[in-house]
Structure 1
Amino acid sequence: MAAAARLFRDAADPDSVKMADIAQAAGAGKGTVFRHFTDRIGLVRALVVEETQQLREQVVDGPPPLGPGAPAAERLPVLLGALLDLKLNQLALMLALERTGAGSPYLNPSYDLWHSEVAEMLVDVHGREGADYLAHALLAAVRSDLVGHLTSQGASPEQLHAGLRRLCASVLARGANDVA
């Protein structure tokens, strides 16, 4: 796992990280890697779970503002900012998950957690029905492909964080009855 994490962290292109490279970096046979993870997406998913473990624990059980108890206006930008930092720091790994057909970022337990937490923060402002869609839309703002595109166009992490804070403020400022 450590060898795979290192290769993804150092990769400019997630598609360049092959199972054979991971096996070699780990000093193991390719068959050993496949026995543990079945396929590349299994390995990518395991790495994503490992890389997001601490953040998931903080969101579920940690102190405010990331953990429960803080008002949505404080908690939402902190959570999305933490997800943005995760994508910036682990871009190749997160892109590998998003680019793999059955590995859709929408089909993993971490996404379910992020979505349910964000949606719950939005319920008071937009109602249950509006919160679900807006949670998906807000999470789209920190998708790895978008983060990669924006950074390749010269956007700095500070600019991305500032834009994300403005987006959160805008979504939180609108009430359920403010539909145009």
Structure 2
Amino acid sequence: MTERKTRKDAVRNREALLAAAAALYARSDSPDEVTMARVADEAGVGKGTLFRAFGDRAGLLRALYEARLEPVARTLEAGSPESRRSPEARIRELLDAVACFKLDNRRLAAAIEAGGGSSSPYESDHYRRWHEHLCDLLAQALPREDVSFVAHTLLAATRADLVEHLVGRQGMSRDELRTRLATLIDRIIRPEDDPTRNGP
């Protein structure tokens, strides 16, 4: 009975800590403002409980990031009925989901990409999944291109620091950012439809 209660307490504490960290990142002006002490205070637990649950700040960031990645994961795994008929549509849908995730989690994503969750954002599990899936889709849409480089380039357009610069500092709206990203994707994967290109 005591062991079961301890496990329930641990689960409850973990959920409270993740919720507290998410709230702090949403309210903060900078990812650096969110310290382990502030997260513990916000959740109403001791710092020892926080460190036991996640190990360190990087562990907390990774756990929170993965917990909030579900919409992107659903897009990656399934896609809409329309997009399943076309690799180009899947590419647009996946990158739009990534961009929306970054828009909804700007401070958290910035903290992860600044190295708070791993040695490099390009070595994280979720980035590798996104890149690998994009490569598969691009190989169908652009069979003669270096799809690995193109996938990295498209994902770079959704980096949190760029999203923060465009939306947070330059005032670009969410809809405008998504529209411009879609236009960029189309120019890369359907260059023959780009009216700005000069034909031979």
TM-score by structure 2 length? 0.80
Q: Given that residues 87 and 141 in structure 2 are in contact (C-alpha distance below 8 angstroms), is that contact kept between their aligned partners in structure 1?
A: no
**Aligned-residue offset at 1:63:** 4.1
- Give the 3 Å change call, closer, same or farther, for CA 118–128 of structure 1 in structure 2: farther
Say yes or no: does 1:92 pair with 2:107: yes
Greater radius of gyration (CA): 2
Match of 1:111 in 2: 127
- The secondary structure found in structure 1 opposite 2:143 is helix
2:94 maps to 1:83: no
Greater CA drift, 148-157 or 83-92:
148-157
How much has 1:129 moved relative to structure 2?
A: 6.1
Amino acid in the other structure paired with 1:9: A
Residue from 45, 70, 80 that aligns with 2:85: 70
Q: Distance in 2 between matches of 1:65 and 1:59?
A: 14
Equivalent AA in structure 2 for residue 37 of structure 1: F
Alpha carbons of 1:106 and 1:32: their partners in 2 closer, same or farther (altered >3 Å)? same
Question: Counterpart in 2 of 1:148?
Answer: 164
Deviations 1:24-58 (A, max 9, x none): 01111011101111111110010010000242133
CA shift for structure 1 position 78:
1.4
Letter in 2 for 1:155: M
Aligned residue identity for 2:178: H
Tell me the CA shift for residue 103 of structure 1. Answer: 4.4
1:30 equivalenced with 2:47 (yes/no): yes
Consecutive unaligned residues of structure 2, counting only runs of 5 or more, are 1-17, 193-200
Q: CA 1:71 to 1:62, structure 2 compared with 1: closer, same or farther past 3 Å? A: closer
Task: For structure 1, list consecutive stretches of 5 or more residues without a partner in the other structure.
Answer: 176-180
| Contact preservation (8 Å) 1:126, 1:174 | no
State the identity as a percent: 38
How far apart are the structure 1 equivalents of 2:36 and 2:145? Answer: 42
What is the TM-score normalised by the length of structure 1?
A: 0.88
Aligned 8 A contact 1:98 1:104 in 2:
yes
CA distance in 2, matches of 1:36, 1:109: 20
Q: Note closer, same or farther for the CA distance 1:147–1:65 as it changes in structure 2 (3 Å cut).
A: farther
Higher relative contact order (CA 8 A, sep 6+): 1
1:123 aligned partner: 139
Q: Is the 8 A contact 1:125 1:174 kept in 2?
A: no
Kept in 1: contact 2:122–2:128 (CA 8 A):
yes
1:10 and 2:27 are equivalent in the alignment: yes
Deviations 1:135-180 (A, max 9, x none): 01000000001101111112111221111011110111149xxxxx
Q: How many pairs does the alignment contain?
A: 173
**Distance (whole Å) between structure 2 residues aligned to residue 46 and residue 159 of structure 1:** 30
* Cα distance change on mapping 1:129 and 1:17 into 2, 3 Å: same
Aligned-partner Cα distance in 2 for 1:74–1:129: 18
